[in-house]
């Protein structure tokens, strides 16, 4: 028998595919726009690496400069992602279309997300030789953005604990990773999949937390009273 209050993968996906079109304009656009410089830099870096071929080691200073630019461009991309996730959260908790105020995030959320993103990026590069672990770090990177707004104060351990707390529902998050991976193969573009990926993760984090805090009951009550008032 299904335990009351347990989330399911289909429920999260269903909510995410309803939620994302509601916040897509303009927040998915902002996310894509702010993420574009990073994508261009990544493409340029890989192209340069291919062109240099076996001589790449001799161009360490040049490639190092590009690598540093890649890292710095993570900042605007992260701002776009946080705005989008915050807009998703506002939409879920208030049921209203999020304006600029609804997509605003705190400095603590931003710096905690930046710290975890960079930490996960290090782990990603170190794990590349294994060929198996990188998808796990892609999942963690998504969760670091989805859990960012839960960080009310700057901390080095708090943001990591929140990511692992979200990972407790491993079956759902790994299921989401698989579904979005399949979707990405069909769509053929990271930019098209990113809103659904982050939207689904923020639904998962938000719903799991709402069930623990009782916020889901408050929303349900608001929905019921608004229907009753409209009738």
Which parts of this chain interact with other proteins (CB under 8 A)? 45-46, 49-50, 53-54, 56-57, 60, 63-64, 67-68, 70-72, 108, 111-112, 114-115, 118-119, 121-122, 125-126, 128-129, 152-156, 213-215, 218, 222
Cα 41 to Cα 66: distance, rounded to the nearest angstrom: 8
Q: Which of these, 164, 210, 201, lies nearest to 180 by C-alpha position?
A: 201
Query: Rounded to the nearest whole angstrom, what is the least distance from the CB of residue 91 to other proteins in the complex?
Result: 16
Of residues 119 and 179, the one with the C-beta less far from other proteins: 119
Query: Rounded to the nearest whole angstrom, what is the least distance from the CB of residue 98 to other proteins in the complex?
Result: 17
Distance spanning both ends of the chain, measured CA to CA = 36
Of residues 24 and 219, the one with the C-beta less far from other proteins: 219
Cα 133 to Cα 138: distance, rounded to the nearest angstrom: 9
Chain Cα centroid distance, residue 178 = 15
The widest CA-to-CA distance across the chain, in whole angstroms, is 74
Asked if 139 and 178 count as a contact pair (C-beta separation under 8 A), the reply is no
Of residues 24 and 155, the one with the C-beta less far from other proteins: 155
Of residues 26 and 76, the one with the C-beta less far from other proteins: 76
Query: Rounded to the nearest whole angstrom, what is the least distance from the CB of residue 78 to other proteins in the complex?
Result: 11
Of residues 33 and 156, the one with the C-beta less far from other proteins: 156
What does the block give as tokens for 98? 């999020």
Asked if 115 and 80 count as a contact pair (C-beta separation under 8 A), the reply is no
Of residues 26 and 154, the one with the C-beta less far from other proteins: 154
CB count, 10 Å around CB of 42? 14
Of residues 61 and 185, the one with the C-beta less far from other proteins: 61
Query: Rounded to the nearest whole angstrom, what is the least distance from the CB of residue 107 to other proteins in the complex?
Result: 9
**φ, ψ at 144 (rounded to 5°):** -65, -35
Cα 221 to Cα 226: distance, rounded to the nearest angstrom: 8
Query: Rounded to the nearest whole angstrom, what is the least distance from the CB of residue 76 to other proteins in the complex?
Result: 14
**CA quadruple 80, 10, 227, 218: dihedral sign:** negative
Query: Rounded to the nearest whole angstrom, what is the least distance from the CB of residue 183 to other proteins in the complex?
Result: 26
Query: Rounded to the nearest whole angstrom, what is the least distance from the CB of residue 63 to other proteins in the complex?
Result: 5
What does the block give as tokens for 207? 């719903």
């Amino acid at each position: 028998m299904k335990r009351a209050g347990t989330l399911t993968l289909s429920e999260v996906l269903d909510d995410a595919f309803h939620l994302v079109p509601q916040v897509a304009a303009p927040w998915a656009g902002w996310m894509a726009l702010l993420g574009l410089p990073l994508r261009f830099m990544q493409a340029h870096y890989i192209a340069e690496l291919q062109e240099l071929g076996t001589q790449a080691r001799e161009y360490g200073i040049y490639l190092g400069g590009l690598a540093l630019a890649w890292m710095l461009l993570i900042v605007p991309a992260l701002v776009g992602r946080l705005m989008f996730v915050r807009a998703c959260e506002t939409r879920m908790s208030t049921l209203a279309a999020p304006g600029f105020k609804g997509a605003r995030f705190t400095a603590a959320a931003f710096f905690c997300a930046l710290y975890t993103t960079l930490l996960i990026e290090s782990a990603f590069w170190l794990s590349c030789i294994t060929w198996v672990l990188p998808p796990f770090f892609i999942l963690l990177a998504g969760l670091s953005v989805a859990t960012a707004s839960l960080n009310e104060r700057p901390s080095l351990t708090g943001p990591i604990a929140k990511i692992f707390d979200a990972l407790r529902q491993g079956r759902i998050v790994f299921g989401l990773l698989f579904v979005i991976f399949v979707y990405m193969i069909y769509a053929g573009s990271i930019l098209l999949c990113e809103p659904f990926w982050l939207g689904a993760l923020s639904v998962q984090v938000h719903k799991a937390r709402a069930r623990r805090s009782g916020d889901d009951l408050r929303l349900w009550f608001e929905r019921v009273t608004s229907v009753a008032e409209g009738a």
